[in-house]
Amino acid sequence: MSEQCECDFISVGDVVEHKMNTSVFGIVIGIAGSLIYIRTSPTLAVLSFHEWELQLTEDDELPPTPAKAEEKPSNVIAVDFTKPRVLKKSTKTAGEA
């Protein structure tokens, strides 16, 4: 009997972001009661927030969603640059640069 919890408990090592300012995010490095200490990115400053101010940004339990394969445009012609080609010479301005 394995029960999956859909909880969003924050623990050390989780990547979290601030709910009101999502440009503040980082890794949880410590917990003291309701205060959670995070090392922010990219400044590496240590900030403390209450647990209700933060939200998880990653869920390690769920696999990442697969990326969609890009469709090849119909007007693209593949060119093999390893083979020699004869270039067509059709210039009206011979000798002009």
* Per-domain residue ranges of the chain: 15-56
| pLDDT at position 36 | 92
Please spell the DSSP secondary structure of 25-86, one letter per residue. EEEEEEEETTEEEEEETTT--EEEEEGGGEEE---TTSPPPPPPPPPPPTT-----TTS--P
pLDDT digits (tens, 9 = 90+) for 33-88: 889 999 998 888 999 999 899 988 865 566 666 667 777 667 767 777 888 877 67
| pLDDT at position 7 | 55
- 95 against 36, higher pLDDT: 36
| pLDDT at position 58 | 65
| pLDDT at position 2 | 42
Q: Which two tokens stand for residue 87?
A: 């270039």
